[in-house]
Amino acid sequence: MSARVLSLEGAEPHAGGASEWRRYGRAYARSASSMAGLVIVAAFLVVAAVGPWIVPYPDDARGAVHLDQKLRPPGAAHWFGTDEVGNDVYTRVVLGARVSLQIGLIITVVAALIGVPLGIVAGYVGGIAGEAIMRVTDVFLSVPALILALAVVGALGPGIVNAMLALSLVWWPGYVRLVQSKTLALAQETYVEAARAGGAGRARIVFLHILPNCVSPIVVKASMDMGTAILAAAGLGFIGLGAQPPYPEWGAMISYGRNYLPTWWWYSAFPGVAIYLTVLGFNLVGDGLRDLLDPKSRG
Amino acid sequence: MTQYVLSRVAFLGLMLFGLLGLTFAISHVMPGDPARLAAGPDANQAMVDTLRAKYGLDRPLGVQFARYLGGVVRGDLGESLRSRNAVLDDLVRYFPNTFELVTLALLLAVALGVPLGMLSAVYKDTWIDHWTRIVSVSGVALPAFWLGLMLQLLLALHFGWLPLGGRLGLTASPPAPITHLLFADALLRGEWRTLGDALAHAVLPVVTLCFPALASILRVNRAEMLETLTQDYITTARAHGFSGFRVVTRYALRNAMIPTLSMIGLRYGWMLGGTILVETVFDWPGIGLYAVNAAVSSDFQPIMGVTLLIGLNFMLANLLVDLAYGWLDPRVRRRSPA
């Protein structure tokens, strides 16, 4: 509650000294679930960064085969057991963090790079171009993202690069919607009107007044999207259209492990836990940031 | 209201045209080569060229789009390369299964999500609230396909309480079709054993598909209820001595339902996407599984057919949500459509 009051008073202007950042930090830390999310995301980033140096069997993500070790249950030598070619599941899950981080980042960044400029054009410039952008956005939003991605991958052929390309191509419309509505609202603000009356050009208003004030909702959406994009890419991996073996992608691992249920349950159980924790972490951080930066757009 | 309805329907028509443009762009403009795919891996250039001419793929894009539109209008969605069946026939056969799965999952999500969200808001910061919040954050983070596999592992393979997948067991025979919806037909024909068997097969897929939607419906309803419960008119109603139950259900819930309704519409769309994963896990013979099987063998027309059908479905659902909005909130009717 206190976070909400604080942000209503202080979040919109884009000035921000060190003391303001400290205040935000304290307000964020007051929520246990936001902090839990931050811890999970931090752990995920660390694992993604140092993965290759902390795993016991780095070759197991590059197609090594140890048939004498195959389908061993979890134990001291293999914490999460081994798969059908004797690869260490723990190693592959840890190295999968880097793959998922790349997938999430690429999809989110590409989507924002396409969506944000289009949203600003639609919201601030308007006219026929703006109208056309919004109608195309509506069409994209009228088909569930996963189906559209499936169609695009179907056209391009399976593989991790095509899966990321497909998801990026269907992910941007959300940003157009968000930025367009925010821009429309900002254009009515007194300070934008004052800038316009003072003779500021369109570009100046957009870069100095509109864009900085769109940053909070974009950051909130992006942090949520990191989780959802990872989830969607894992879904494509699971149906066999994303990463191909031996690439250590969590969704594909679950898909292969599925053939070894129920006896060799660990094969698909652990990658699923990894996806769950990662997505949970990004969602909790997104929630925390939204309560702090953009409390009016909850839900 | 009539004008509002008409404007929404006209908007739907426009969107549908846009969707056709989108599926056309994916199938004809993107770098994939449908003629080469159709000819198969061993075909030589001459065979590919023949097919290209046969499908009209050598004509200008505008002509191709007009032919594509004409085909769709006549119900010609192409044919599956694997089975040589007309895609429309396949969709007609598989869609009822998906429709039943998604509808049951949505009903369950609303039936559980709305009351749980309400309870969570009324008993804020008690153990009820804590547990429902854990459900709501977990539901959207769990990969549905993995949840389905784990439920299968535990309830079907380990305990043997529920069947592993499919729509009916080997010993049950489907009832003679009336509506082509298995549940409705079994009910209408009075075939109770078949109905029981079908229900047992539906439990795990429905629960799996329902869980993420349940979580987000619960979450929105809780947030809206919390907001509504602090409004002046709620305090006034309480001061007038209305019972707590009446205030919560009659006055607060009705207002909280408007944003919840739009989440329900959104989640219906998500379910139509998520069903491709859930149908794959449970071997549920719907259009999701059909699309996946087509996609892994680069069988192009079925995927486009499914995309169109699911898009149309989602658009119709959004239309219903818009109309319900207009009915619940008169201010919406007067605003011009987006």
For the segment A84-106, the average pLDDT, to the nearest whole number, is 89
Tell me what pLDDT residue A296 has: 62
Domain shared by B56 and B100, yes or no = no
Q: Percent of chain B beyond pLDDT 70?
A: 95
Q: Which of helix, strand or coil describes residue B79?
A: strand
Nearest to A50 by CA among A14, A7, A86, A94: A94
Same domain, B62 and B118: no
Any domain includes B89: no
Which pLDDT belongs to residue A3?
A: 42
Q: What DSSP assignment string belongs to A26-46?
A: HHHHT-HHHHHHHHHHHHHHH
C-alpha distances (whole Å) from B274 to each of A148, A232, A241, A271, B211 are 12, 9, 15, 19, 11
B16 falls within a domain: yes
Q: Are B87 and B77 in contact (CB under 8 A)?
A: yes
Residue count of chain A: 299
pLDDT reported for residue B32: 62
C-alpha pair distances (Å), A264 with each of A64, A261, B162, B231, B280: 20, 5, 20, 55, 20
* The total number of structural domains that make up chain B: 2
Percent of chain A clearing pLDDT 90 (strictly above): 30
- Strands annotated E in B221-267: none
Residue B173 amino acid letter: S
Co-location of B132 and B205 in the same domain: yes
Distance CA B168, CA B174 (A): 8
* Cβ B167 vs Cβ B285: under 8 Å: yes
Percent of chain A past pLDDT 70, that is, above it, reads 92
Residue B150 and residue B235 in one domain: yes
CB neighbours of A26 closer than 8 A, spacing ≥ 6? none
Cβ B31–A156 below 8 Å, yes or no?
yes
Do B29 and B159 belong to one domain?
A: no
- Cα A202 from chain centre: 31
Report how far residue A290's alpha carbon sits from residue A178's, in angstroms, rounded to the nearest whole number.
14
In-domain check, residue B82: no
* The pLDDT value given to residue B206: 95
Q: How confident is the model at residue B109 (pLDDT cuts 50, 70, 90)?
A: very high
- Report the residue of B124, B146, B278, B310 to disrupt the A interface, i.e. the one with the largest count of A CBs within 10 Å: B146
B69 and B203 both lie in a single domain: no
Taking only the tens place, the pLDDT of each residue in A206-215 is 888 888 888 8
Q: Is residue B86 one of the residues assigned to a domain?
A: no
Question: What's the pLDDT tens digit per position in A119-135?
Answer: 999 988 888 988 899 99
The dihedrals phi and psi of A235, each to the nearest 5 degrees, come to -60, -45
Reported ipTM exceeds the 0.90 cut: no
Name every chain A residue with its beta carbon within 8 A of the beta carbon of B14: 135
Same-domain status, B128 and B254: yes
- Kindly state the average pLDDT of the residues B290-313: 88
**Is the same domain home to B164 and B268?**
yes
pLDDT at B337: 45
**Taking 50 as the threshold, does the pLDDT of residue A230 lie above it?**
yes
Supply the CATH number for residue A166's domain: 1.10.3720.10
- Domain assignment present for B85: no
Q: What is the pLDDT of residue A16?
A: 57
Token duo for residue A283: 């969602």
Per-residue pLDDT tens over the stretch A274-296: 999 999 999 999 888 888 886 66
pLDDT tens digits along B182-191: 888 888 888 8
Please report which confidence band the pLDDT of residue B93 belongs to, taking 50, 70 and 90 as the band edges: very high
Asked whether residue B117 falls in the same domain as residue B49, the answer is no
Give the residue numbers spanning the domain of B30: 2-74
* Minimal CA separation from B175 to chain A, in Å: 31
Q: How confident is the model at residue B31 (pLDDT cuts 50, 70, 90)?
A: low
Average pLDDT score over residue span B20-39:
76
pTM recorded for the entire structure:
0.87
Task: Report the residue from A155, A227, A299 with minimal CB separation from B26.
Answer: A155
CA-to-CA distance for A205 and A212, rounded, in angstroms?
A: 10
- With CA atoms as reference, report the closest residue to A146 among B276, B290, B27, B315: B276
Domain that holds residue A209: 3-298
My answer on whether B105 and B57 are in the same domain is no
Write down the mean pLDDT value for chain B.
85
Q: Closest Cα of chain A to B173: distance in Å?
A: 28
Model confidence at A11, pLDDT cuts 50, 70, 90, reads very low
User: Mean pLDDT highest for which of B106-115, B218-227, B232-241?
Assistant: B106-115
B229 and B273 both lie in a single domain:
yes
The pLDDT score that the predictor gives to residue A107 is 94
Residue B87 located in a structural domain: no
- Which pair of tokens denotes residue A119? 């949203």
In chain A, what residues touch B150 (CB-CB under 8 Å)? 269, 272
Nearest CB among A134, A283, A298 relative to B140 is that of: A283
Contact A223, B118 (CB under 8 A): no
Q: What is the average pLDDT across B44-57? A: 79
Q: Determine, for residues B14 and A135 on separate chains, whether the beta-carbon distance falls below 8 Å.
A: yes
Shared domain check, B251 and B127: yes
Answer yes or no: do A157 and B294 touch at CB < 8 A: no
> Count of alpha carbons within 13 Å of A206, Cβ hemisphere only?
15
What is the rounded distance in angstroms from the CA atom of residue B290 to the CA atom of residue B276? 8
Encode pLDDT of B116-133 as tens digits. Answer: 998 898 888 888 888 888
pLDDT of residue A1 exceeding 60, the answer is: no
- What is the tally of structural domains in chain A? 1
Binding-face residues of A in 253-282 toward B, CB within 8 A: 254, 258, 261-262, 265, 268-269, 271-272, 275-276, 279-280
